Amino acid sequence: MQIERTDLPVDPQDRAMVDGLLAAARSGNAYRVQGDAQAMRAATERLLAMPFVSGPDPSVGVTPGAIGGIAGEWLTPPEVTSEAALIFLHGGGYVRGTLALGRSNATELAARTGARVFAPSYRQGPEDPFPAAYEDVLALCRALADRPETYALVGESAGGGLVVAAAMGLRDEGARLPAAVSGISPFLDLTMAGESWITNEMNDMATREMGEDMIALYMQGQDRLDWRASPLHGDFRGLPPLQFALGSHEGLYSEALAAAEKAATAGVDVTFDVFEGMPHGFSKYRLAAAAEALARVSAFVRRGVERANG
């Protein structure tokens, strides 16, 4: 299969805002915090309070719920026009993520697709080390696979890696697969061996050092090459249509491109949307690129659901 790649130019206003975001990140008070989990989580809370971070769509209802014994929240658009169930997995490096961190993306996904979205509160390190997050996501996907409605998976950052790993696990079990899998800025290789972690070091919100701290808290000495943690190193054969949407300035750009190429070689339909000049986490910010990324993810999911429904 070929990769359907689209390179999207940067908006000048986005470029100016990203420069400001990078300056704030380098100050160490909003994003690039190393150390223990509590310090990282406090930094996430500070980040969410900043004016450049998008808030959730107020038209979308938020109610607590659970699937397969995994607690989370349902995001319901004002008009439900699709019977599909969508899953959205927040990021946060398996340590510092929260439902609030992913809520702006999750509510926008619900509003744009007309489908109900479930966002799970999956377990994270260091309290619940690998493979806890994977096991939670697989459990809820198993429950969805046993239900009649079509479903699709979307995740951002760590969540983007989890949705790919979950699809691999479901395939191995012979379960009904999601109609589409989309990773926004997906974290697909916890070895962080990709060249872009070096070449994009000065252009990204995330750094390799930051990633190492979070990975150590989650993996706790376990094998980072395990595909459940690093799906880049897994088997892509037989997976449903796959999309990656990411910035060209992300440290994880190389691993996402490698995963796209590996998936295409394995016969998977791959969509690869690259947003020029965008750093990690850009989909959460008040940027034209963020709106376009969510529009493309939503369109990809809708197409997958329509194909699955015949």
51's CB contacts (< 8 A; 6+ apart) are 286
Q: How far is CA 251 from CA 41, 124, 179, 202, 279, in A?
A: 21, 22, 29, 10, 8
Q: Please tell me which residue in 104, 250, 255, 298 is annotated as part of the active site.
A: 250
Strands 242-247, 116-120: pairing is unpaired
Give the list of residues 6+ apart from residue 100 with CB closer than 8 angstroms, or none: 48
Catalytic residue at 156? no
Question: 135 an active-site residue?
Answer: no
Instruction: Please pick, among 157, 182, 196, 254, the residue that the annotation labels catalytic.
Output: 157
Radius of gyration for the alpha carbons in the chain, expressed in angstroms and rounded:
17
122, 137 Cβ separation under 8 angstroms: yes
CB atoms within 10 A of CB 260: 25
Q: Parallel, antiparallel, or unpaired for β 70-76 and 61-67?
A: antiparallel
Q: Give the whole-angstrom CA distance, residue 195 versus residue 46.
A: 30
Cβ-contact 77, 84 below 8 angstroms:
no
The strand ranges marked E within the chain are 3-8, 61-67, 70-76, 85-89, 116-120, 151-156, 181-184, 242-247, 270-275
The question of whether 127 is a catalytic residue gets the answer: no
CA-based nearest residue to 247, from 4, 11, 1: 11
Active site residues: 157, 250, 280
